[in-house]
Amino acid sequence: MLTLVTGSTGQVGRRFVPRLLAQARAGEQVRVIVRDAARAERFAELGAEVVVGDLRDTDDLGKAVSGADAVVNVAASFRGVPDEEAWAVNHEAAVALGKAALASGVRRFVQVSTGMVYGVGRGRPLTEEDESRPGGKMWGAYNESKVAAERELLALDTMDVRVARLPFVYGEGDPHLANSLQWAANWASNQRLHMGHHADVAQGLLRVLHAPGVAGRVYNIADDAPVTALELHLLNGVEVPAGLDRNTDPDPWFGVMSTERIKRELGYRPLYPSVWAARDAGAL
């Protein structure tokens, strides 16, 4: 089995690929596609095959998927980029990759998405059956492009496509935890952010990749305890802004996902059930 991973030099990919390589069995291989070969030297040393190319180039896509059995599409253009780039990477390139994989005979395709595609909350943890309801201050081109890609990829019904929706990912030196304060500083003190440690995101992705008989399924991956804006300041060791306790939370269930399905169907159990557990283990 040859698995192609995109987005291998991003925050999620650079931590996922070594774990994928570490658990590979005899005969299993890993390939990454990168625009700069120098950034993939570590993966090559660990045994990965490196293809230099751009996901937005049709010829490069063909090289990347040739001979592959599975694809894990981690590549994403996150917040802060122009809307055009978000759509080009998160939607257009993802769908083109899916179609190239289908044409090349790839049997399994894992689309890495985000829990933000749910949009506004439902008054309870969000489940994979919930449709997207665009809205809220954190809605934008990133979320919109991701949900559009999900829909088109899942419509490729002659290929086994699975979707993994991630929370706010942190840990192992990832700057996301510190970056969270750009939003949390203006939230209500009890407003929550659902998180997942890189070790658990990788665990979830590996389970989604390898599980038999789950074509077309969507899985939420997250920890067990969404963290509040107050806790985010404490975790970052910074002073809590004055007035945080007077702010109100407009949508208490925004982004809070149920992980019942992945636990029940794929045996997922977070190694770090909360960010506090990760802190105590020295895994931040």
Q: Is the pLDDT of residue 224 over 90?
A: yes
Whether the per-residue pLDDT at 230 is higher than 80: the answer is yes
- CATH numbers and ranges of domains, the chain: 2-170+196-223+257-271 (3.40.50.720)
- 3-class DSSP string for 11-67: CCHHHHHHHHHHCCCCCCEEEEEECCHHHHHHHHHHCCEEEECCCCCHHHHHHHHCC
pLDDT, tens digit, 9 for 90 and up, residues 140-160: 999 999 999 999 999 998 999
How many whole angstroms from its chain centre is CA 265? 19
Whether the CB-CB separation of 33 and 55 falls below 8 Å is answered with yes
Residue 78 confidence (pLDDT):
83
Q: What is the mean pLDDT of the chain?
A: 96
- Residues of the chain with pLDDT > 70, as a percent, come to 100
> Shortest CA distance to 49 belongs to which of 40, 59, 60, 58?
40
Q: What is the reported pTM?
A: 0.97
- What are the start-end ranges of the H helices in the chain? 13-22, 41-46, 58-65, 83-87, 94-104, 141-154, 176-179, 181-184, 198-210, 229-235, 260-266, 275-280
Residue-wise pLDDT tens digits, 68-121: 999 999 999 987 789 999 999 999 999 999 999 999 999 999 999 999 999 999
- pLDDT value, residue 94: 98
